[in-house]
Amino acid sequence: MPETFDLTTAVYAKTAVGQQEIQTRSLGLSPLVRRILVLVDGKRSGSELAPFLSGNGDIEEILGQLLTLECVEAQARTKPVASHAAAAPAPAATATNEGGESSSSEIPGLPSAGSRSAKDNEMARNFMINSVNSIIGQNMRISLVHDIFHAETTEQLRVIYHAWASSMSNHGMGAKRLPELREKLFKVL
């Protein structure tokens, strides 16, 4: 492997050894390393797997361990990393939620999306992901965490907000804490 190989931008797939490890648990992987192995699907890059650690580990270290054990292999990316935003269509300002209702990026009481900085977006994204992971549980709403992680603009985050709020309100502890969480989130959303 070249020294300039970036573990976070490569896409990973399970090898036969990795598939066997999922079935037999013979290598004695830690729960965190095993979680990442389970999530490796041949489509996600290291940076796309990192949010599933929720601050509990270093994705490069874990991927390095899985590569060393030959549980995963790096694959060529089908889309260039730099043009990810151009290659993937941006979510529309209006989307349809799970109930079939229309949800838009308009949330009453918030300043215009254009007034929010990239730092505000990053803080909102982190807050939403961390609240899902800590209240609902890690790996329980993977698609929601994935959507939040890939939202690049304030408008996209505001569309996803509706799914986030719905997930929180459908969980006992989340429903209790939703007003407090919403107040904190709205400071940066």
124-137 pLDDT per residue, tens = 888 888 888 888 87
Q: Is 27 in contact with 71 (CB distance < 8 Å)? A: yes
> Both tokens of residue 6?
């970036």
Closest by CA to 47, choosing from 11, 4, 8, is 8
Please tell me the predicted confidence (pLDDT) of residue 104. 56
Give whole-number Cα distances, 78 to 11, 71, 117, in Å. 9, 21, 31
**How high is the pLDDT of residue 91?**
40
Structural contact between residues 90 and 156, judged by C-beta atoms closer than 8 angstroms = yes
Residue 33 burial (CB < 10 Å; 0-12/13-18/19+)?
buried
Contacts of 180 (CB under 8 A, 6+ apart): none
Residue 142: per-residue pLDDT: 76
Provide block-wise average pLDDT over 10 residues at a time, the chain (189 residues).
62 90 90 89 86 78 89 68 39 42 65 87 88 76 82 87 85 87 89
Q: How many CB atoms lie within 10 A of CB 187?
A: 11
37 and 28 in contact (C-beta within 8 Å)? no
pLDDT of residue 80: 43
Which pTM value belongs to this model?
0.46
Quick: pLDDT tens for 41-79.
888 888 888 888 866 778 888 888 998 899 999 876 544
User: What is the distance between the alpha carbons of residues 36 and 41, in angstroms, rounded to a whole number?
Assistant: 10
DSSP 8-state secondary structure symbol assigned to residue 136 = I
